[in-house]
Structure 1
Amino acid sequence: MAVYSMTGYASGQHSMAQAAPGQESRGPAARVGLEIRSVNSRFLDLSFRLSEDLRQHEPALRELLQGKLKRGKVELRAGVESAASDSVREPSARLLQRLASLQDTVRTWLPDATALGVADVLRLGAADEGAPRDLAAPLQELAARTLDDLLAARAREGARLADMLLGHLQQLRELAAQAKPLVPQLVEQQRARFLERWNEAMGLAEGAATPEAAQDRALSEATAFAIRIDVAEELTRLAAHVDEIERLVRKGGEIGKRLDFLIQELHREANTLGSKSAALELTRISVDMKVLIEQMREQVQNIE
C-alpha cells in the first residue's frame, strides 16, 4: 500500500456541446474547468469555490472527495466558461423579441428602469446560448478524473517522503551504533580517574590507606557513575521506535498520526540521551539525532 502525502494539485477541463432545440450541435458551447489542491491538516477539511450554476452540485462533489480522501485541507474550484465569450455572437430574433417583451413588462411596473443597452443584450444572449442545462454527469466525471490525478500526485510525493524517512532512520541507527560502545569506555575511564584521585588523596606512598581499600572505593564510585550515565534503555527504546516507524512506512496506508506519535517518542529518547551525556562525543550524537528527528517531524506532518 502506498504512502500518501497530503500535499498535491490537479486540474482538468471538459468541453461540452450545446444545441438549440431541433438543431444539431455547432461545436463546444461551454468548458467546465475544475482544480483541486490540498495541503496538510490534522483532519479532512473541505472547501468549495463553485460558480453560481454549479453550486447545486456541491453535495455530490463533497461525497466524492470524502470517499477517497482521509486527511488534508482540500480546496475544489470549478466554473463554467461559455464558448460564446470567445467571440461575439449575433442574438437571434426570438431572443431579441423576448428581451423587448421583458423590458416592456419591467418598465410598466418600474417606469424609471434603465433601458437595455447593446452590451446587456449581447451578454444576456451569450448566457442564454452558452451554458448547457445538465452539468451533473460531466461535472462528476471530470471531478472523479481530477481526483484520481490528485491521488497520483499525492502518491508520488508520499513515495518521496517515504524514501527520505527511511534514509533518516538508517542514519539514526548508525548514530545509535556509535553511542552504544561509548558508555563502557566512559565507565572505565571514570573508574581509572577515581582510582588515581583516591591514590593522590590518601597518600598511598606514605601507607595512609591500603591499595585494596582505594580500589574498592574507586569501583563503588565508578558503579554509581555507570548507573547515572547508563543509556542502554534509551537506546533500546529508540531502536524499537525506529523499527516500528520503518514497518509502518513500508506498510503504507493511513499512517500519519501514528508516525507523529512515534516521532515524539524518538525525540524524548534523544533528549534523555543528551541529558545523561558525560562526554562530548555522546552530546554530539544526541544533537545529531535531534536534528534528524526534527527533519522527520516536518516530513511526517505531510503524510496522510
Structure 2
Amino acid sequence: MVVSMTGYGIGMAENANIKVTVEIKTVNHRFCEYHIRMPRQLFILEDKVKRQANEYIRRGRVEIFIAIEGEGLLTKRLKLDWSLADQYFAIMSDVKDKYSLSSSPSWQDLLHINDVFSVEEIQAENEELDMILHTATQAALSNVKAMRLQEGAELKSDLIKQLEKISFIVGRLKNYAPAVAEAYKERLKAKLAEVTSGMMDESRLLTEVAIFADKADINEELTRLESHHLQFLETLEMIEPIGRKLDFLVQEMNREVNTIGSKAHDSAITKEVVEMKSLLEKIKEQVQNIE
C-alpha cells in the first residue's frame, strides 16, 4: 500500500462547556518525529495524543496544534507565603522596638510587599476533557489518513508509469546490445584492413572482438534491472510502510544503469542510459515522500 507522508487534517469536538480543535500536518521525514503545541492544561495528555497518532502514522514529521476553548478550565487561588510574612512582621517589630516607633506593621502593609501574595492557577478537574480531546484527534487523524492515501494512490500510478518507460528502454537495449559487438567487429576489421593492406589475422580479429564483447556485455545488468522492476511492483502492494525499501531499490537500479553507462561504447546506448537516469531521478523524488 502506497501512503504519502504529506497530509493535513482538522478535527473538532465539544460539549456544553468545552470545545477542542486539533489540526495535524504531516510532511516527509526519514523517521517519525512529533512536534505538538497545546495549552498547558493539556500537557498531561500529550503522550496519549502521540500513542493515538501512532496508530495512523508510522513515518514523517508530524505537527499537531491543539486549541481549547471553554469555561472552568482553570481555577485561580490566592496564595500567601507565610514564612515571608512572618519574617516581615518579625523584622518590623524589631525596627519598632529599636527606634521606639509608635505604629506597628499592619496586614495592609503586606499588600505592598512583592511575593507575599501570589495567584496560582489550578487545572480544574474535567472528566470529559480527555474524551473530547480523543474524539477531536481521531477526526483529524482520519482526515490526514484519507489525504495521505489519496496522494499515495496518485504517487503509485505515476511510479508505475515511470517504471514502464524504463522497462521499454530495457527491452530496446536487450535487442540492440548484440549489434554493438558486431558493429565493433566491422569497424575493427575495416581499420585492420587499412593498416595491413588486407593481410589481417582473422584469429586476432576474432579474439579482439570477443574481448570487447565481454567487456561491453550488459545483459547481466539488464536482467537485474528487470528483477528490480518486479520487486518494485511487488513492494507497491505491501501493507506495511514501504518507503525505505523502495528507496533502496531505486539505488540498486541506479547502480545498474551506471554500470551500463560505463560499459557503453555506443552513442545509442549512452542516449538510453541518460533517459533511464532521468526517469530514476523522478522516481527517487516521488519515493522520498512515501511512508
TM-score range (shorter-chain normalised) is 0.7 to 0.9
Q: Is the 8 A contact 2:232 2:246 kept in 1?
A: yes
| Number of matched pairs | 259
Residue in structure 1 matched with residue 146 of structure 2 by the alignment: 152
Q: Is the 8 A contact 1:6 1:39 kept in 2?
A: yes
Residue in structure 1 matched with residue 55 of structure 2 by the alignment: 67
* CA deviation after TM superposition for structure 1 residue 82, in Å: 3.6
Q: Deviations over 1:169-228 (max 9, x none)?
A: 100001111212222111111111111222222223xxxx3xxx5332222211111111
1:78 pairs with 2:66: yes
Q: Which amino acid aligns with 2:53?
A: L
Q: Which amino acid aligns with 2:193?
A: N
Residue in structure 1 matched with residue 233 of structure 2 by the alignment: 246
Distance 1:68 1:172 in 2: 34
TM-score, normalization by structure 1: 0.77
* CA deviation after TM superposition for structure 1 residue 103, in Å: 11
Q: Is the 8 A contact 1:36 1:147 kept in 2?
A: yes
Residue in structure 2 matched with residue 54 of structure 1 by the alignment: 42
Residue in structure 2 matched with residue 23 of structure 1 by the alignment: none
* CA deviation after TM superposition for structure 1 residue 232, in Å: 0.5
Identical residues among aligned pairs (%) = 32
Q: Is the 8 A contact 2:12 2:139 kept in 1?
A: no
Q: Is the 8 A contact 2:34 2:63 kept in 1?
A: yes
Question: Which secondary structure does the structure 2 equivalent of 1:76 belong to?
Answer: strand
Give the alignment partner of residue 188 of structure 1, picking from 154, 160, 182: 182
1:5 pairs with 2:18: no
Residue in structure 2 matched with residue 142 of structure 1 by the alignment: 136
* CA deviation after TM superposition for structure 1 residue 31, in Å: 2.4
* CA deviation after TM superposition for structure 1 residue 280, in Å: 1.2
* CA deviation after TM superposition for structure 1 residue 142, in Å: 1.2
- Counterparts in 2 of 1:108 and 1:259: CA distance versus 1, 3 Å: farther
Distance 1:198 1:274 in 2: 27
Distance 1:108 1:63 in 2: 52
Give the alignment partner of residue 24 of structure 2, picking from 36, 54, 57: 36
Structure 1 outlier segments of 4+, above 6 Å: 103-108, 130-133
Question: Which secondary structure does the structure 2 equivalent of 1:181 belong to?
Answer: helix
Residue in structure 1 matched with residue 258 of structure 2 by the alignment: 271
- Counterparts in 2 of 1:185 and 1:15: CA distance versus 1, 3 Å: same
Distance 2:205 2:222 in 1: 27
Q: Is the 8 A contact 2:13 2:21 kept in 1?
A: yes
Distance 1:268 1:284 in 2: 17
Residue in structure 1 matched with residue 91 of structure 2 by the alignment: none
Give the alignment partner of residue 281 of structure 2, picking from 294, 298, 301: 294
* CA deviation after TM superposition for structure 1 residue 260, in Å: 0.9
Distance 2:137 2:231 in 1: 37
* CA deviation after TM superposition for structure 1 residue 68, in Å: 2.7
Q: Is the 8 A contact 2:155 2:286 kept in 1?
A: yes
Q: Which amino acid aligns with 2:190?
A: E
* CA deviation after TM superposition for structure 1 residue 14, in Å: 2.0
Residue in structure 1 matched with residue 165 of structure 2 by the alignment: 171
RMSD (Å) for aligned C-alpha atoms: 2.9
Q: Which amino acid aligns with 2:110?
A: W
Question: Which secondary structure does the structure 2 equivalent of 1:17 belong to?
Answer: coil
Distance 1:104 1:143 in 2: 40
